[in-house]
């Protein structure tokens, strides 16, 4: 608050963009004058509760309801002033990330950020802190977003050309200029990036942020994804976070690297254990494995997400884990205390960062609480395995059913959220099939129009 | 006799399977006598199903198969509304009896609106967020019918008999009917959503009437 006071008094900030993440990942909020916000704090402005009742196309869900909702009653944006960043794009603008709360200040069970916060508190009650690093994947195109819209998001030119070349460092200057502008923007925003690289698909890139305290990382990754879109727009390009934007191109992921700590000591590393994986780590992996099928409804939240699950095309397809085997859904590495971490590879580029965090926490903590031993690690290639090997759900409804019946996820996420999310996913499935989607088409205009700009 | 669907069925597959089950419960001999392959297709979007009848056993899958004998193409959004365009039927000349039976079994007769409301309530009243009771008013006659607890009925649904019956059978979506002015309601939005969700579950065969 004092930071905003100083910035407002000095004329650096006139307007604050307050924004919060809806469960489907859209960021919504209000632009508020700095003076007005200072008068309101610690509370924030209100929004109508219908925001939790509309799909990405602003149509009302009829398959999901929240007990706290009224007749378009007010709920509030609770600003976390620690997230304040001055926006370099516009003179006098700042951005603050918020959570959704009820008028009495109590958290909303379906607020993704609030849920992640609550679960992190529960993790702290067990004596651990968590560090997280996301691998943010996206696809960039030479065309502007206006041109992309005009073409129905088809026939676009991948930034860097049509040659697939993983880890390429020799693509066109357009790529370097765009990514350099992006990393400069991240520096201006105070978001610590580690690296970026050319990914397997054409025009596909991966940005890695420095691992940090869990909630801060998720907030920063949220701001970074926004910066990617904004920098692309400023440079006359466009980007998408769709899991699959083209039928024959690789899908996009959002790998979640994370580790538990007790003070400055890794809770995942123990030299006396097999492969240095501590008992805590083993049980954490056991929990993630036990909840992996249900978690897929969050990691792959849209009909389009399941088009990413292709054998031998980068994305995991099986309920498997390993030490260092990137064909599995989960890697659990403990070479050194500092690098000991789990990498969940199932989340797609279109998933909600806060919900991914919450689902990982719910699964991992269930593993700790129940001392769940993981199945044997997968030592072979995890693609193309025979039918008897457990696979990730291959459709939104199959994943939703697994999610709805997962008692461990329900215990962590809350029954109300499970009911709400399952209802919204059913709605997404209904919308696809009844308003123009085609399950037999490799990619439909319906998906491109619905998701290209909005996930 | 069994009515089965493909794994991971589409909404239209589930809806047609639910309609066939209603038909089968009303007149089992009709489906039991059918043999052949039929398709039902949407006129305006890619939705389609193939139905394989084999003397009582029926299997429903999405898409239009190559071996269909009869295919009905219809405007799904207008289905059941006064003045709705007539469906286009292919194969009627070569498979007349089968085509006539098909038209009957995919669109079984609607129950009386009161019976529909009673069946709906029996199947759905325990679903999440449902009201403790519901008042149904048939607007042409003014007749009222209460399901559940009459003293705490939390929602009223008003409409003509045909639309009420469709809503309570699950072939019309309550909130969409409300939005288009075909029915009216009184009560909280939460209950309108819950009532709609329950109707959808019936229409998709998630719950049995």
More confident residue, A161 or A190: A190
Mean pLDDT of A370-390: 95
The candidate with the shortest Cα–Cα distance to A64, out of A52, A73, A51, A49, is: A52
| Contact call for A395 and B8, based on CB within 8 A | yes
Written out in words, the top-level CATH class of the domain with range A12-108 is: alpha beta
The candidate with the shortest Cα–Cα distance to B120, out of B170, B155, B174, is: B170
Is B208 domain-assigned? no
User: Best interface-test mutation with B: which of A434, A444, A445 has the largest number of B CBs within 10 A?
Assistant: A434
| Contact call for B46 and A437, based on CB within 8 A | yes
Mean pLDDT of A190-217: 95
**Structural domain tally of chain B?**
2
What is the value of pTM for the model shown? 0.95
Closest CB from B11, B173, B190 relative to A65: B190
> Domain end: B89, B105, B121, which one?
B105
Domain extent listing, chain A: 12-108, 122-136+206-214+242-451
- Least CA distance to B42: which residue of chain A? A434
Q: Point out the least confidently predicted range of A86-90, A161-165, A438-442.
A: A161-165
Asked if B65 has any chain A CB less than 8 Å from its own CB, the reply is no
Query: pLDDT tens for residues A60-73?
Result: 888 888 889 999 99
User: Using CB atoms within 10 A of its CB, is residue A146 exposed (0-12), middle (13-18) or buried (19+)?
Assistant: exposed
Q: Is A160 left (phi over 0), alpha (psi -120 to 50) or beta?
A: left
- pLDDT of B7 strictly over 90: yes
Query: pLDDT tens for residues B101-159?
Result: 999 999 999 999 999 999 999 999 999 889 999 999 999 999 999 999 988 878 999 99
Is B209 domain-assigned? no
Residue A203, pLDDT score: 94
Q: Are residues B96 and B121 in the same domain?
A: no
For residue A440, the chain B residues in CB contact (below 8 A) are 46, 62-63
Residue A1, pLDDT score: 61
From CA A222, how far away is CA A343, in angstroms rounded? Answer: 19
Mean pLDDT of A104-113: 96
> Domain end: B70, B105, B140, which one?
B105
Residue B85, pLDDT score: 84
- pLDDT of A117 strictly over 90: yes
From CA A144, how far away is CA A75, in angstroms rounded? Answer: 36
Query: pLDDT tens for residues A277-302?
Result: 999 999 999 999 999 999 999 999 99
Q: What is the CATH number of the domain that holds B74?
A: 3.30.1050.10
ipTM score? 0.94
Asked if B11 has any chain A CB less than 8 Å from its own CB, the reply is yes
Residue A281, pLDDT score: 98
Give the number of other Cβ atoms within 10 Å of residue B130's Cβ.
19
Is B92 domain-assigned? yes
| Helices (H) then strands (E): counts for chain B | 7, 10
More confident residue, A333 or B86: A333
Q: Are residues B59 and B128 in the same domain?
A: no
Q: Are residues B75 and B152 in the same domain?
A: no
CA angle (B39 as vertex; B37, B40 as ends), nearest 5: 150
Query: pLDDT tens for residues A230-240?
Result: 999 999 999 99
Q: Are residues B98 and B122 in the same domain?
A: no
- pLDDT of A353 strictly over 90: yes
Residue A120, pLDDT score: 98
- Taking the CA atoms of A417, A423, A429 and A435 in sequence, report the sign of the dihedral they define: negative
Asked if B122 has any chain A CB less than 8 Å from its own CB, the reply is no
Is B177 domain-assigned? yes
More confident residue, A11 or A370: A370
Mean pLDDT of B183-198: 95
The whole domain housing B120 covers 113-203
- pLDDT of B79 strictly over 80: no
Q: Are residues B8 and B100 in the same domain?
A: yes
From CA A375, how far away is CA A360, in angstroms rounded? Answer: 18
Query: pLDDT tens for residues B13-61?
Result: 999 999 999 999 999 999 999 999 999 999 999 999 999 999 889 999 9
> Domain end: B55, B70, B105, which one?
B105
Q: Are residues B48 and B84 in the same domain?
A: yes
Q: Are residues B65 and B94 in the same domain?
A: yes
The candidate with the shortest Cα–Cα distance to B45, out of B66, B64, B60, is: B64
Three-state secondary structure along A300-366?
CCCHHHHHHCCCCCCCCCECCEECCCCCCCEEEECCCCCCCEEEECCCECCCCHHHHHHHHHHHHHH
- Residue B76 pLDDT grade (very low, low, confident, very high; cuts 50, 70, 90): confident
- pLDDT of A344 strictly over 70: yes
- Hey, which CATH number is domain A122-136+206-214+242-451, 3.40.50.970, 3.40.50.720, 3.30.590.10, 3.20.130.10? 3.30.590.10
From CA B130, how far away is CA B153, in angstroms rounded? Answer: 10
| Helical spans, DSSP H, in A49-106 | none
Q: Are residues B14 and B100 in the same domain?
A: yes
- pLDDT of B3 strictly over 70: yes
- Residue A330 pLDDT grade (very low, low, confident, very high; cuts 50, 70, 90): very high
Mean pLDDT of B165-169: 96
Mean pLDDT of A269-276: 95
């Amino acid at each position: 608050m004092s930071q905003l006071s100083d910035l407002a008094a000095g004329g650096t900030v006139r307007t604050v963009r307050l924004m919060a993440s809806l469960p489907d990942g859209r960021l919504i909020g209000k632009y508020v004058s700095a003076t007005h916000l200072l008068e309101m704090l610690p509370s924030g402005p209100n929004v109508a509760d219908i925001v939790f009742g509309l799909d990405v196309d602003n149509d009302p869900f009829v398959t999901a309801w929240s007990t706290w909702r009224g007749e378009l009653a007010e709920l509030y944006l609770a600003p976390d002033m620690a997230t304040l960043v001055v926006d370099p794009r516009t003179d006098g603008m700042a951005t603050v990330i918020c959570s959704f709360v009820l008028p009495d200040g109590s958290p909303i069970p379906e607020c993704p950020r609030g849920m992640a916060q609550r679960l992190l508190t529960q993790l702290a009650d067990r004596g651990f802190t968590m560090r997280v690093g996301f691998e943010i994947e996206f696809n960039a195109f030479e065309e502007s977003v206006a041109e992309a819209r005009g073409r129905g998001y088809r026939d676009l030119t991948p930034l860097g050309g049509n040659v697939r070349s993983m880890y390429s460092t020799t693509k066109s200057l357009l790529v370097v200029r765009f990514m350099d502008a992006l990393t400069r923007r991240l520096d201006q925003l105070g978001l610590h990036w580690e690296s970026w690289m050319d990914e397997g698909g054409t025009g596909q890139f991966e940005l890695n942020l420095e691992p940090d305290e869990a909630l801060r990382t998720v907030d920063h990754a949220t701001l970074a994804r926004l910066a990617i879109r904004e920098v692309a727009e400023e440079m006359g390009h466009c980007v998408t976070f769709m899991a699959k934007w083209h039928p024959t191109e690789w899908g996009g992921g959002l790998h979640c690297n994370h580790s538990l700590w007790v003070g400055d000591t890794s809770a995942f590393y123990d030299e006396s254990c097999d492969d240095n994986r501590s008992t805590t780590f083993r049980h954490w992996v056991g929990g993630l494995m036990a909840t992996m099928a249900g978690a897929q409804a969050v990691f792959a939240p849209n009909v389009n997400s399941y088009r990413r699950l292709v054998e031998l095309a980068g994305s995991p397809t099986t309920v498997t884990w390993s030490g260092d085997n990137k064909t599995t859904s989960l890697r659990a590495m403990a070479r050194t205390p500092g690098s000991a971490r789990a990498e969940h590879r199932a989340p797609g580029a279109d998933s909600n960062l806060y919900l991914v965090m919450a689902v990982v926490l719910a699964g991992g903590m269930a593993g700790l609480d129940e001392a769940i031993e993981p199945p044997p690690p997968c030592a072979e290639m995890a693609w193309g395995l025979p039918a008897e090997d457990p696979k990730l759900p291959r459709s939104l409804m199959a994943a939703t059913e697994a999610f709805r019946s997962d008692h461990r996820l329900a215990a962590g996420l809350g029954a109300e959220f499970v009911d709400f999310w399952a209802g919204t996913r059913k709605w997404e499935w209904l919308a696809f099939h009844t308003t123009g989607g085609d399950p037999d088409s490799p990619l439909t205009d319906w998906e491109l129009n619905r998701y290209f700009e909005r996930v | 006799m069994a009515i089965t669907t493909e794994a991971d069925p589409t909404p239209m597959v589930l809806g047609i399977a639910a309609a066939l089950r209603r038909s089968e419960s009303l007149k089992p001999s009709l489906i039991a006598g059918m043999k052949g392959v039929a398709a039902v297709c949407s006129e305006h979007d890619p939705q389609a199903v193939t139905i394989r009848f084999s003397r009582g056993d029926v299997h429903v899958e999405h898409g239009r198969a190559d071996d269909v004998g009869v295919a009905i193409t219809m405007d799904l959004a207008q289905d059941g509304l006064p003045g709705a365009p007539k469906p286009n039927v292919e194969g009627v000349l070569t498979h007349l009896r089968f085509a006539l039976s098909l038209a009957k079994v995919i669109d079984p007769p609607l129950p009386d609106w009161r019976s529909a409301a009673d069946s709906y309530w029996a199947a759905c009243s325990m679903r999440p967020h449902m009201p403790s009771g519901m008042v149904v008013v048939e607007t042409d006659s003014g007749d009222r019918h209460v399901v559940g607890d009459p003293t705490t009925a939390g929602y009223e649904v008003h409409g003509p008999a045909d639309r009420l019956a469709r809503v309570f059978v699950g072939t019309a979506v309550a909130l969409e009917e409300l939005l288009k002015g075909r029915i009216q309601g009184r009560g909280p939005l939460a209950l309108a959503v819950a009532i709609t969700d329950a109707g959808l579950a019936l229409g998709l065969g998630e719950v049995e009437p």
